[in-house]
Structure 1
Amino acid sequence: MKIEILGTGCAKCKKTQKNVEEAVSEAGVDAEIIKVADINTIMDYGVMITPGVVIDGDVKVAGKIPSVEEVKSWLG
């Protein structure tokens, strides 16, 4: 599983990454977590407001910080 955290490094983006890492750890799934800061790559996903989370190419959220429980629901 490939999880991309879209964001330029703001506090919300860092919190999103922390929540994703915690969810992956709690769920016990094997996932590669990648930080994507390149604005063109982010825009290629159609995300105009960060933070964003993309799992296996599918945009799950944009413009808000997902909770740990929300992220875990995407991992199943």
Structure 2
Amino acid sequence: MDADNLVRMANRIGQFFEAMPDATEAAENVAQHLKKFWDPRMRRALLAHVDRHGVDGLNAMVEVALERHRAVLD
């Protein structure tokens, strides 16, 4: 899957959870959503993209979720 599309999709998820009052819980929910609803190949492709290109273009909530909960997503 195209990395730009994965970033776009992840950003939409991050934007949704940004509305939560607890940022820690929101980041956990982003990671849980990615784990539950994304195919493992999609998660691996997003993480590989971040490893190669950094977090530029990622929503801040997604960035936090990937940093804190990467082990859940691998």
Q: Same fold (TM over 0.5)?
A: no
Structure with a larger share of its residues in strand: 1
Structure with a larger share of its residues in helix: 2
What TM-score do the two structures reach when normalised by structure 2? 0.31
Structure possessing the higher relative contact order (Cα contacts under 8 Å, 6 or more residues apart): 2
What TM-score do the two structures reach when normalised by structure 1? 0.30
